């Protein structure tokens, strides 16, 4: 897997986890942090992959 794909999956999974914990403990800040992490993962889908061999 490409590093960008791993980052997207990690951010999306972490965001969902933090959001779920925020709901469980009724913590608004954690909920918004989870939403922000998922939004960053969504924004990374527009990241262009560099061809192999180029820096």
pLDDT tens for 26-48 read 999 999 999 999 999 999 988 77
Confidence class of residue 22 from pLDDT cuts 50, 70 and 90? very high
CA distance 37 to 47: 16
Report pLDDT for 30: 97
**Any domain includes 51:** no
In sequence order, the 6+-apart residues with CB closer than 8 A to the CB of 8 are 41, 44, 45
The number of folded domains in the chain is 1
Q: Domain range holding 7?
A: 3-46
Report pLDDT for 4: 85
Q: Helix 28-43 to helix 3-24 angle, to the nearest 10 degrees?
A: 160
pLDDT at 55 over 90: no
**Any domain includes 33:** yes
**Any domain includes 10:** yes
**Any domain includes 53:** no
**Any domain includes 7:** yes
User: Average model confidence (pLDDT) for the chain?
Assistant: 90
**Any domain includes 35:** yes
**Any domain includes 27:** yes
**Any domain includes 26:** yes
């Amino acid at each position: 897997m490409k590093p960008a794909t791993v980052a997207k999956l990690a951010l999306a999974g972490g965001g969902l986890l933090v959001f779920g914990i925020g709901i469980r403990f009724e913590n608004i800040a954690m909920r918004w942090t989870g939403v922000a992490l998922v939004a960053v993962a969504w924004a990374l889908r527009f990241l262009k992959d560099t061809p192999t061999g180029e820096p």
